[in-house]
């Protein structure tokens, strides 16, 4: 028994590759109640607009699905010669036993990205896009990086996303590195619990870039709620917002987090979780993280020979902070 007991924690220690020979940027996670398998989805690459991988557990082992593209047709509102589909996220809709896909794509009517939505009875698609984008604040630079969230406590449904002020920026790193630069607020939008695409009320800003610590941007928000308990009270709140700062192609790219007691904030910045200051366990340019629903783990991407590979990491909540283990 002793060797097994020693091996079990080791098997989940430190960030580890989930897919080590495929570029799979900005990974998200979804549980499929039909097959009881987990799915991960990623930014366009390997000839697909939305890539997919599957695993019997949330901790792997992951298999890339080479013949699956969730979104063969990105939608009438998308630039068809250059759709640039980024940061997909899929949510299960129990009322209709179907799925909604949130994604970002280049609008055909501007030079900016907008957040779109598409639906399918099947988690692997093909998804049918809505005829119009879901969230499209063109005057602020558009929107990207949408991630869904369902609050198990009250059944409410939400989307967090980045207003892409970077795309309006004055130049420098990522186009927004010269002062003063544009805001890149992370916003929270409530949506209808049944269809996932009817907006409910106005979006609220829950975090924005602080140029001193974030450089040109914050992006890639992902929201989880940790189960209440002493450790979570010491942390300062059960809502955890993971996000990245700096340019994705710079050595400063990272995973940061902020915490709040209520879903709409105020979110208190708690600094880096993975990156040059907090330690990156040998990962280069880690970012684009998605939290495992309910807490405890993350998937993220980091540099690899194939491009940006998917990694898994575990964390603990201890002494008022979150730490990668
Ligand atoms: C990646 O590795 C898997 C498992 O070893 C293998 O089946 C697959 O063919 C590899 N893919 C590429 C693109 O090399
Ligand atoms: C689509 O994107 C390409 C490349 O960015 C651009 O040259 C073209 O003008 C865009 N087309 C439309 C209809 O916006
Ligand atoms: C869902 O898609 C997968 C992969 O294409 C296919 O094998 C499966 O039969 C589909 N299931 C349903 C319910 O359509």
41: in domain: yes
Cis peptide before 232 (omega within 30 of 0): no
Ligand nearest to the CA of 167: 2
- Per-residue model confidence as pLDDT tens digits over 232-268: 999 999 999 999 999 999 999 999 999 999 999 999 9
Considering only 67-71, 175-179, 236-240, 305-309, which range has the smallest mean pLDDT? 175-179
Mean pLDDT confidence for 188-201: 98
Q: What is the pTM of this model?
A: 0.94
10: in domain: no
CATH number of the domain where residue 27 is located: 2.115.10.20
- Closest-CA residue, ligand 1 atom 8, reads 21
pLDDT above 70 covers a percentage of the chain that reads 96
88: in domain: yes
Closest atom of ligand 1 to CA, residue 46: 13
Better-predicted residue by pLDDT, 11 or 100: 100
Mean pLDDT confidence for 107-111: 96
- Closest-CA residue, ligand 3 atom 8, reads 122
Ligand nearest to the CA of 126: 3
Residue 4 is predicted with a pLDDT of 45
Rg for the chain (alpha carbons), in Å? 18
Q: Give the Cα separation of 117 and 113 in Å (integer).
A: 13
Range of the domain at 260: 17-324
- Closest-CA residue, ligand 3 atom 4, reads 124
Report strand pairing: 51-55 vs 268-274: unpaired
- Closest-CA residue, ligand 1 atom 14, reads 21
Residue 58 is predicted with a pLDDT of 96
CA of 61 to the centre of ligand 1 (A): 13
5: in domain: no
- Per-residue model confidence as pLDDT tens digits over 60-81: 999 999 999 999 999 999 999 9
Ligand nearest to the CA of 77: 2
Residue 152 is predicted with a pLDDT of 87
- Closest-CA residue, ligand 1 atom 5, reads 21
- Closest-CA residue, ligand 2 atom 13, reads 108
Closest atom of ligand 2 to CA, residue 107: 14
Which of 124, 125, 126, 128 has most ligand 3 atoms within 8 Å of its beta carbon, as the pocket-test mutant? 124
Q: Is 81 in the pocket of ligand 2 (CB under 6 A)?
A: yes
- Closest-CA residue, ligand 1 atom 1, reads 21
Distances in Å between the Cα of 123 and the Cα atoms of 41, 74, 325 are: 10, 16, 31
4: in domain: no
Closest atom of ligand 3 to CA, residue 122: 1
11: in domain: no
- Per-residue model confidence as pLDDT tens digits over 43-54: 999 999 999 999
252: in domain: yes
Q: Give the Cα separation of 79 and 98 in Å (integer).
A: 27
Q: Which helix (H) or strand (E) holds 232?
A: helix 230-235
pLDDT at 18 over 60: yes
Residue 218 banded pLDDT, cuts 50, 70, 90: very high
Q: Is 110 in the pocket of ligand 2 (CB under 6 A)?
A: no
Residue 36 banded pLDDT, cuts 50, 70, 90: very high
The whole-chain average pLDDT of the chain stands at 95
| Ligand 1 pocket by Cβ (under 6 Å) | 21-22
Domain count, the chain: 1
56: in domain: yes
Q: Is 124 in the pocket of ligand 3 (CB under 6 A)?
A: yes
* DSSP secondary structure letter of residue 234: H
CA of 64 to the centre of ligand 3 (A): 16
pLDDT at 1 over 80: no
CA of 107 to the centre of ligand 2 (A): 9
Closest atom of ligand 2 to CA, residue 82: 2
Strand order in the sheet with 255-260: 218-225, 239-245, 255-260, 268-274
Q: Is 122 in the pocket of ligand 3 (CB under 6 A)?
A: yes
pLDDT at 311 over 90: yes
């Amino acid at each position: 028994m002793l060797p097994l007991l020693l091996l079990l924690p080791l098997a989940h220690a430190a960030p580890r590759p989930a897919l080590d020979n495929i570029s799979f940027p900005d990974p998200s996670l979804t549980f499929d109640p039909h097959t009881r398998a987990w799915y991960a989805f990623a930014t366009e690459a390997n000839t697909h607009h939305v890539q997919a991988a599957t695993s019997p557990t949330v901790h792997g082992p992951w298999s890339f699905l080479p013949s699956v593209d969730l979104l063969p047709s990105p939608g009438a509102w998308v630039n068809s010669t250059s759709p640039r589909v980024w940061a997909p996220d899929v949510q299960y809709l129990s009322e209709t036993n179907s799925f909604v896909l949130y994604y970002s794509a280049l609008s055909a009517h501007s030079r900016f990205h907008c957040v779109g939505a598409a639906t399918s009875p099947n988690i692997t698609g093909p998804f049918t896009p809505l005829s119009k984008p879901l969230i499209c604040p063109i005057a602020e630079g558009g929107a990207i990086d949408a991630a869904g969230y369902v609050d198990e406590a009250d059944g409410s449904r939400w989307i967090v996303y980045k207003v892409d002020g970077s795309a309006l920026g004055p130049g420098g790193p990522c186009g927004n590195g010269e002062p003063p630069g544009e805001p890149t607020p992370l916003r929270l939008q409530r949506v209808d619990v049944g269809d996932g695409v009817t907006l409910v009320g106005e979006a609220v800003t829950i975090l924005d870039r602080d140029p001193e610590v974030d450089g040109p941007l914050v992006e890639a928000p992902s929201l989880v709620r940790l189960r209440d308990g002493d450790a979570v009270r010491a942390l300062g709140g059960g809502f955890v917002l993971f996000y990245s700062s700096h340019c994705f192609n710079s050595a400063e790219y990272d995973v940061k987090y902020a915490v709040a007691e209520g879903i709409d904030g105020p979110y208190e910045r708690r600094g880096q979780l993975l990156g040059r200051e907090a330690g990156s366990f040998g990962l280069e340019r880690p970012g684009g993280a998605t939290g495992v629903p309910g807490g405890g783990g993350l998937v993220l991407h980091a540099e690899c020979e194939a491009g940006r590979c998917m990694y898994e990491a575990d964390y603990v909540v201890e002494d008022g902070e979150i730490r990668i283990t």
